[in-house]
Amino acid sequence: MSEPQSPNVLLESSFRFCPRCGRPGPEIHHRRELRCGACGLRFFFNTAAAAGAFVFAGTELLLCVRSQDPGQGLLDVPGGFIEYDESIEEGLRREITEELSIEVTDFRYLTSAPNDYCYAGIPYKTADIFYTCVAINPEALRPADDVAAILRVEPGAVDLDSFAFASTRRAFVELLCRLNREERDFFPV
């Protein structure tokens, strides 16, 4: 995998013209602010909230195979960007239903991690929030949205490098640490 480009390089190549007045050459300041000297536009690329869940069906973990880039063909957890006016939990519940076609219960906070999500050549900085939860109706599992397939695996059998994103790898390590410490109050099943 190639080294990711710096956010400034990606933003400058993605925004060669001001989105308000159309003049060329808006500048990037402090890695996340687009400024246009012609019309005075100041647009901030703030961190986006995203959430993912390690969903359990019994002792098995439900993992997704991504059907699209970024990370096409690699593993991920169900989840995604939080929409306007949604709580983290509402957005995560919506994403799980959209991607796995199931309902879940017993959300438990696991950890959070920063992430770089480059979609269609545009970089997004995200704060990814991870939970564990339990599938209510795992017999209804059906991949949908941006999920090519759903895997049912034992957590210890997953190759860390098979995850699409660094934030998910970091959260998975935390999950394994907690499971290995046998934190019964944490374990979702």
Domains and CATH numbers, the chain: 7-44 (no CATH), 48-180 (3.90.79.10)
Give residue 45's pLDDT band: very low, low, confident or very high (50, 70, 90). confident
| Residue with the two structure tokens 């998975």 | 172
pLDDT value at position 100? 98
Q: How far is the C-alpha of 28 from the C-alpha of 30, rounded, in Å?
A: 7
pLDDT in tens, 144-187: 999 999 999 999 999 999 999 999 999 999 999 999 987 655 55
Q: What's the mean per-residue pLDDT of the chain?
A: 91
Q: How far is the C-alpha of 174 from the C-alpha of 179, rounded, in Å?
A: 9
Give residue 188's pLDDT band: very low, low, confident or very high (50, 70, 90). low
pTM: 0.85
Tell me the percentage of the chain whose pLDDT exceeds 90.
78
pLDDT in tens, 111-139: 999 999 988 877 789 999 999 999 999 99
pLDDT, mean of residues 91-111: 97
pLDDT in tens, 58-73: 999 999 999 999 999 9
b/e per residue, 153-187, with b = 16+ CB within 10 A? eebeebeeeebbbebbbbbbebbeebbeeeeeeee
pLDDT value at position 149? 98
Give residue 1's pLDDT band: very low, low, confident or very high (50, 70, 90). very low
pLDDT, mean of residues 101-111: 97
pLDDT of residue 4 exceeding 50, the answer is no
3-state secondary structure of 34: strand
Span of 9-18, 78-87, 123-132 with lowest mean pLDDT: 9-18
Span of 11-15, 96-100, 153-157 with lowest mean pLDDT: 11-15
Closest CA to 169 of 178, 179, 159: 159
How far lies 61's CA from each of 21, 54, 85, 104, 138, in Å? 49, 7, 30, 13, 11
